[in-house]
Amino acid sequence: MAAHTADHGHRLGDLVRELELRLTGSSVGPGLAPELAASVPAAPTYVLAVFDGLGHHQLDHPSARSLAGSTVARLAAPFPTTTTVSMATVATGMEPAEHGMISHYMWLAELDAVVNVLKWVTPAGVHTNHDTEGFLPAPNLWERLKAAGIEPITIQPGAFAGTPLTSLLYRGCRFEGVYSVEEAVAATVDLSRPSGRFIFTYFPQVDFAAHVWGQRSLEYEEALRAVDTAWSLMTARAQAVVVGTADHGHLDYRFEDKVLLRDPAYEELTFFGDPRSLFVRGEADLIEAVAKEAATEPIWADDHAGLWPGRRHARLGERLPEAILMAPPNRVLLPRGFDKRLTGYHGGLAPEEVGIPLLVG
């Protein structure tokens, strides 16, 4: 299996480290490649806007004209191409192997369970008891910024306040809750005025619309138009350099594209990961049977280490699967507990999932 080796200097983590380097003079690793770094002006305050689910290829849509016009490069999302992994990369400036968040559904040996780390529940919906605040390495990005005299602020949907995922991602960061795209823009503009700040503004609208209705829907078009307007307003009004990107891209799938893994024999296996990159633990013969049904080949542990390059989290080994089943380009793999109702999916290594934009306002 070829390693997931986006060029150094062209990854989401490189962008985060570049902004930290600009503000503090140091980071946990190198920043952007010189030709990309040259496109980001120096500034005493930066806004980093992340548009969830807005892959580079999706900027071809006519409702994304302002975003497309501000695109200076194509970056790569980390593997798996899913929100929790990329947001942990933003929150730490580290690659997944080092921060330890390696999928949407994770196997956590300390709980002896698979956990949906967006909501910190099991696939059956049972809430877990875990110290999410201490899950990611310390110091995280926000703590390092604070120590250097830079105030970190995140602008997030207000419903996220006090959730396990928020305590995991934003330890040490000032949290500003908003309840609309317009409020997110207003808060970003207002808080950008003083110097010496790092503002992280998160927009979930495109991801939600793509998941539920798909990229051909009116709802998706409306979501794109809303964030495109938000980008225009932020770049015009903020007294800071505004940089934008995404956490992953999206692909649409029909019902007949969904491989529902329902054989009772599979109940002896433990499934986690994502629908486009399914992680499995259990008997090798059963894993081979699942792979045959999914029309793919298992990537065994000896071969999948290259998907997680870099320094290793102390608990990474126990979180990794025995095998990965990469879904074929036109398929998603859905064991019991995975959501089969959606239209849009991501998590794999297709160019549409990996490619995310670098935007500079």
* DSSP letter for each residue of 120-154: TB-TT--B----GGGSS-SS-HHHHHHHTTPEEEE
Structural domain includes residue 264: yes
Residue 245: name the closest of 117, 91, 80, 361 by CA: 361
Same domain, 184 and 287: no
Question: Has residue 334 been placed in a domain?
Answer: yes
Q: What is the pLDDT along the chain (361 residues), one digit of tens a residue?
A: 444 557 889 999 999 999 999 999 999 999 999 999 999 999 999 999 999 999 999 999 999 999 999 999 999 999 999 999 999 999 999 999 999 999 999 999 999 999 999 999 999 889 998 999 999 999 999 999 999 999 999 999 999 999 999 999 999 999 999 999 999 999 999 999 889 999 999 999 999 999 999 999 999 999 999 999 999 999 999 999 999 999 999 999 999 999 999 999 999 999 999 999 999 999 999 999 999 999 999 999 988 888 998 899 999 999 999 999 999 999 999 999 999 999 999 999 999 999 999 999 9
Does 5 reside within a domain? no
Determine whether 292 is exposed, middle or buried from the number of CB atoms within 10 Å of its CB (0-12, 13-18, 19+). exposed
CB neighbours of residue 309 within 10 Å? 18
Its sign, for the CA torsion 309, 314, 319, 321, is positive
Our count of domains for the chain comes to 2
| Whether residue 164 is found in the same domain as residue 221 | yes
Q: Are residues 290 and 225 in the same domain?
A: no
82 and 107 both lie in a single domain: yes
In 3D space, the residue among 23, 22, 13 whose CA is nearest the CA of residue 50 turns out to be 13
Assess contact for 333 and 261: CB atoms under 8 A: yes
Per this entry, what is the length of the chain? 361
Q: Is 128 found in the same domain as 97? A: yes
Same-domain pairing of 294 and 203: no
**Is 131 among the domain residues?**
yes
Determine phi and psi for 213, rounding to 5 degrees. -115, -20
Residue 4 lies in a domain: no
| pTM higher than 0.85 | yes
Residue 212 forms part of a structural domain: yes
Could you list the residue range(s) of the whole structural domain that residue 267 is in? 255-345
